[in-house]
Amino acid sequence: MNEHTRAPSVSERADELEERMMHELSERIATRSTLFYLGDGKVQFDSGEALLAANPGKHFLMGADPRLPPLPKKPTLIDFFKARFATTAHLLQSATHALKGGQPEKVVLACLLHDIGVASFIRCDHGYWGAQMIEPYVDEEVSWAVRMHQALRFFPDPSVGYEYPQMYVKLFGADYKPEPYIVAEYERARNHKWYMTSRLITLNDIYSFDPNAKVDLDDFVDIVGRNFKEPKEGLGFDNSPSAHMWRTLMWPTRFL
Ligand SMILES: [Fe+2]
Ligand SMILES: [Fe+2]
């Protein structure tokens, strides 16, 4: 087979697919942020000029990406659960476990939201990202607990029966040691008045990977209603310090 008749390579087929996907957006070009490329091991930046040249007559997407589930004009937390959180079973199982254990609503909410950073956005430092997203809308204790679970989950607490998760040995290897910034965070959290709230996230976390457990977002709508201050303008449009994060989730392929 010579160069002109060979079957398309995997990367050529990916290019074709991309082209088609762009086409499906009709008049608009969806762009990838640098972070999306970094995730593929590439330090790459889409040049606006080059993309315009490759898509004559089109403009860049500056709003909703038609490939993604639509969000209402004034989206709520529940809307994001349904349209943007790629996985909710773990969050719901963790919150269900806390609820059945008789934990206060604050703790149930913290469990429900503890991994929204990773479910919607990014893995690295997901506790910090998640805490920042919810900070303007929840009791300070809840966002503090979500932030600190990032560090606490790596450290046992025999006083409440929390052991280093065996799953982490499986996931990261037996020789993984948390970095110094995580150790320092743990030490700060250990003596904090809300330590136990965050510890309760980790306690409910490790038991919450049952694929057969029956969970339902509807069970938490009232708790969210009482404990998450939904902005009347909708998440993303209320000028809060984290509104931009919700907008970015809403429109991840906007050009700017
Ligand atoms: Fe987590
Ligand atoms: Fe978790």
Q: Which residue has the tokens 């606490």?
A: 152
pLDDT tens track for 56-109: 999 999 999 999 999 999 999 999 999 999 999 999 999 999 999 999 999 999
The answer to whether 55 and 27 are in contact (CB under 8 A) is no
Nearest ligand for residue 118 CA? 1
Q: Which two tokens stand for residue 203?
A: 């306690």
- Ligand 2 center to residue 149 CA distance, Å? 9
Q: What does the CA dihedral 50, 51, 53, 59 come to, rounded to 10 degrees?
A: -140
The answer to whether 158 and 212 are in contact (CB under 8 A) is no
**In the 3-class helix/strand/coil scheme, how is 190-203 assigned residue by residue?**
HCCCCHHHHHHHHH
Mean pLDDT of 148-152: 98
CA dist 18 and 13 (Å) reads 9
Q: Which two tokens stand for residue 142?
A: 């809840």
The answer to whether 107 and 200 are in contact (CB under 8 A) is yes
Nearest ligand for residue 95 CA? 2
Mean pLDDT of 161-190: 96
Q: To the nearest whole percent, how much of the chain has pLDDT over 90? A: 84
pLDDT tens track for 184-224: 999 999 999 999 999 999 999 965 556 677 889 999 999 99
Give me Rg for the CA atoms of the chain.
Answer: 21
Q: Within 13 Å and on the Cβ side, how many CA atoms surround 133?
A: 28
- Ligand 2 center to residue 113 CA distance, Å? 9
- pLDDT top residue among 69 and 20: 69
- Ligand 1 center to residue 19 CA distance, Å? 36
Specify the DSSP class assigned to residue 157.
Answer: B
The answer to whether 102 and 200 are in contact (CB under 8 A) is no
